[in-house]
């Protein structure tokens, strides 16, 4: 549900102008969606970085354990 940022009237998703105050709402309301998309991308990147670090730690541990076993 869209809401007019000027007067708070509820609008249809495809409304370009607010029927109550006549304010243009299409461009202003795209910003939160862009932010949501950015959040999704940053969350995805965070998940990817955590996954990558986890794999890296597992590899380091495996290498460490491997050298420990080789020394014995």
Number of residues that bind Zn ion (CB under 5 A): 8
The backbone torsions φ and ψ at residue 14, rounded to the nearest 5 degrees and listed phi first, read: -100, 10
From 7-15, 30-38, 44-52, 64-72, span contacting Zn ion (CB under 5 A): 7-15
Select the residue interacting with Zn ion from 10, 16, 20, 51 (CB under 5 A). 20
Is 6 a binding residue for Zn ion by CB under 5 A? The answer is yes
Reference 29, options 42, 46, 53, 13; nearest CA is 13
CA angle 11, 12, 18 (to 5 degrees): 40
User: Which parts of this chain interact with Zn ion (CB under 5 A)?
Assistant: 4, 6-7, 9, 18, 20-21, 23
């Amino acid at each position: 549900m869209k809401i007019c940022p000027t007067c708070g009237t509820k609008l249809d998703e495809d409304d370009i102008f607010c029927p109550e105050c006549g304010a243009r709402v299409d461009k202003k309301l795209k910003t939160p969606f862009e932010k949501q998309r950015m959040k999704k991308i940053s969350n995805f990147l965070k998940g990817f970085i955590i996954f990558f670090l986890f794999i890296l730690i597992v590899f380091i541990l495996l290498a460490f354990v491997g050298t420990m076993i080789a020394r014995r």
